[in-house]
Structure 1
C-alpha cells in the first residue's frame, strides 16, 4: 500500500521538517525547510514522508530509504541518507507516532450513507438499526444484521452475510463472506511506543482485507494493520472468540478453532489448522499445511506440513516424549 487509504484516513496539512520537529519533540539536525505530508515505514517511504529507525537491525534499511525525513537516535545519524532531513530523538518510535497523529486522521461516522446509495441493487437487505458511514458500498445479495455498524469507506462484496451487532471499519470484504454476530473487524491493533511521558499509542493506518469465502465467527476480533494490511485468505474459516492481531497475513483455507490467538505480524501458509486455544507469538511464520494442536503456545517458526503441540510448542512426537518422560519422573518421585 502506497499510503493510508483515503477512503479510511484523511491526510492533514503538511508541515516543514522544522515544524514537525517541534510537534514531536525532536532535535532538527538538517533539512528544516523540507515539506512533510505523510508517515511511512523505512522500506516504503517516499520523498514527502517521514520514517523512523527504532532498532539497530534496520540500519541497512535506513541507509537505503527514500524517505524525505527520518527520525533517528543520535547513534544512527551517520547512517541516515545525505539528502534526507534528520530529526534526532531518544525515542524515535514515539516521535513517529506523534507525527502520525498530526499528519493523518481516521475518518469517523460524521454523516451516514443512504441505503439506496450504498447498495448495488434492491437485493441488499439492511435489518433495523444498521448504520452505514459515508462511502460504504455493498454488493448485491448481501444481508446485514440488526444494529450492525459499518464505518466510512468500507467495501462489501456480493452474497455476504453479516450478523447482528457487528462492527466493521477500515475493511475491504470480498464475495460470499460470512461475519457472525458481535464480530469486531478493523479496530486498531495493539501498538504502543515507549516514551518518557509513558506509553504512546501508535496510530494504526492500515486496513483489513477479507478475501472471498471467508467466515468470521461470533465475537471474534481482527485488527487492522499498523501500516500495511491484515489479510485473511480465501475460504479461511474462523471460529467464535478468535483474536487476530495487526499485520497478520493468513493463507487460504486456514481453520481456526475457538480461542485461537494470533499475535501481530504472523504469516501462515495455505491449509493451516489451529486447535482451540492455540496461541502464536508475534512475527512468526507457520508453513503450508502445518497443524497447531489445541492449547499449544507457538514461540518459533513452524515448518510446512508439521504438527506441533505443547508449551512451548514443538513437533508433536518430541512434545509427547517429553510429556511422558516428565510424567514418569513425577510418578517415580511420588513413589519414593
Structure 2
C-alpha cells in the first residue's frame, strides 16, 4: 500500500475488515482528534465525552463504534468497527511507518565493545554505545546510541534501548524489553547509616550488592530510575508498563502487567501484586504489600497494606468511596461553619435574654 499520497477510505475499510458507509475515494493523509482535524485527516470517536465534536469536525472520514447512536452530519464517510482504539492503531501503523529502520547486524565503529562480551546475531549497536566485559546482548537487540551495558549485564532477545539508557552491572533484561531515553536500570539504592561524630551526624553510604531484573515484554519510559537491591534483586514483572519519571527503590517487587503512571514513587522493599494500576504522582510506602488488581488514584499516598481488588485514594490512602465522602464533607465545611456560627449567636442571644430575665426577677 503506497501511503506517500495518503490512503483511500476504501483501502482503510479493507485493512480493517469492515464495511464502509460513504465515499470510498476519500483520501486520508493523517490522524487527528475531532476538534482539530482537517478535511484530509481521519478522526474517531473513542469516548462519549468527544461526541459533541462530531457535528463540527472537519474530518471527512470517521472511525466509529458499531451500533453507536451518533448524529453524523451528511457528507461524512464512516468506518464502523468493533474496537475503535485497535482500528486507529492499525491505521496509524500504515500512515506513520517508522522513519528510521536500523540495519540489523551492524556495530558502529564508534561503539566500544569489550572483547569478552557476547553480541548476538542481527543486533544494531549504534554510535558511542559501551558494552562492558562479560556482558551478553542477545539476538535482535537494538542499542540506538550512547547506551551503556555494564559488566556481566544481560539484555534479552529483541529488546530496544533508546539513546542514553544505562544498564548497570549484572542487571538483567528479559526478551522484548523497551527502555526509553535517559532511564537508569541498576543505580545504587538510597541507603545510608547515620553515625554521630561529636556534634555532627554523618551519613555513611551502604553498598548495594544486588541487581535489577526486568522480565519479558516490559516497557520503561524516559527518565525512569530503578534502583538495584541491597541484596538479591529488584524485580519488574512481565508485561508491566512504566511511564516517564517513575522511581522504583531498592528491593521493590513489582508483579506482572502493572501500569505505573508518571511520577509514581515506590519506596524500598514494597511488594506490588499483579495487574496493579498506580495513577500519576501516587506514592507507595516501603515494606508494605499491595494486592492483585489494586487501583491507586492519582496523588494517593499508600501507607499500609492494601488487599486484592481494592481501589484507594487520598492521603493516607483509604477506600475510594470513603475518600469521596471525606472530600465531600471537607467541601461542605465553609457552609457548616456559617451554620454553626448562626446557631452559636442564636444560643448566645437566648442565653443572654434568659440571664436578664433572671436578674429582673431578683
TM-score band w.r.t. shorter chain: 0.5 to 0.7
Q: In 2, distance between residues paired with 1:334 and 1:114?
A: 74
Q: In 1, distance between residues paired with 2:241 and 2:299?
A: 18
The reply on whether 1:316 has 2:315 as its aligned counterpart is no
**CA contact 2:221–2:245 (8 Å) conserved in 1:** yes
The CA deviation string for residues 205-262 of structure 1, in whole angstroms up to 9 with x for no partner, is 1000000011111000000001120000000000000000000010000000000000
**CA contact 1:214–1:234 (8 Å) conserved in 2:** yes
Q: In 2, distance between residues paired with 1:265 and 1:124?
A: 35
The CA deviation string for residues 4-23 of structure 1, in whole angstroms up to 9 with x for no partner, is xxxxxxxxxxxxxxxxxxxx
Q: Partner of 1:227: helix, strand, or coil?
A: coil
Unaligned 5+ runs, structure 2? 1-111, 342-362
Match of 1:147? 146
Q: In 2, distance between residues paired with 1:139 and 1:334?
A: 69
CA RMSD of aligned residues (A): 1.5
The CA deviation string for residues 69-120 of structure 1, in whole angstroms up to 9 with x for no partner, is xxxxxxxxxxxxxxxxxxxxxxxxxxxxxxxxxxxxxxxxxxx634895311
**CA contact 2:115–2:133 (8 Å) conserved in 1:** no
**CA contact 2:160–2:176 (8 Å) conserved in 1:** yes
2:270 to 266, 285, 290: 266
Deviation at 1:334, TM superposition (A): 5.7
Structure whose CA Rg is larger: 2
Deviation at 1:333, TM superposition (A): 2.5
1:203 to 180, 200, 207: 207
* Map 1:16-27 → 2, pairs under 5 A: none
Match of 1:167? 166
Match of 2:226? 222
Match of 1:128? 127
TM-score by length of 2: 0.60
Q: In 2, distance between residues paired with 1:192 and 1:117?
A: 34
Q: In 2, distance between residues paired with 1:282 and 1:332?
A: 38
TM-score by length of 1: 0.65
Q: In 2, distance between residues paired with 1:331 and 1:211?
A: 53
Match of 2:337? 333
Q: In 2, distance between residues paired with 1:274 and 1:300?
A: 15
Match of 1:300? 304
Unaligned 5+ runs, structure 1? 1-111
Deviation at 1:150, TM superposition (A): 1.3
Q: In 1, distance between residues paired with 2:131 and 2:235?
A: 23
The higher relative CO (CA closer than 8 Å, separation ≥ 6) is in 1
Counterparts in 2 of 1:303 and 1:237: CA distance versus 1, 3 Å: same
Q: In 1, distance between residues paired with 2:196 and 2:220?
A: 39
**CA contact 2:275–2:292 (8 Å) conserved in 1:** yes
Q: In 2, distance between residues paired with 1:117 and 1:325?
A: 62
Q: Partner of 1:196: helix, strand, or coil?
A: strand
The reply on whether 1:286 has 2:285 as its aligned counterpart is no
**CA contact 1:113–1:135 (8 Å) conserved in 2:** no
Q: In 2, distance between residues paired with 1:139 and 1:157?
A: 5
Q: In 2, distance between residues paired with 1:117 and 1:203?
A: 26
* Map 1:39-78 → 2, pairs under 5 A: none
The CA deviation string for residues 296-320 of structure 1, in whole angstroms up to 9 with x for no partner, is 0111111100000001110001111
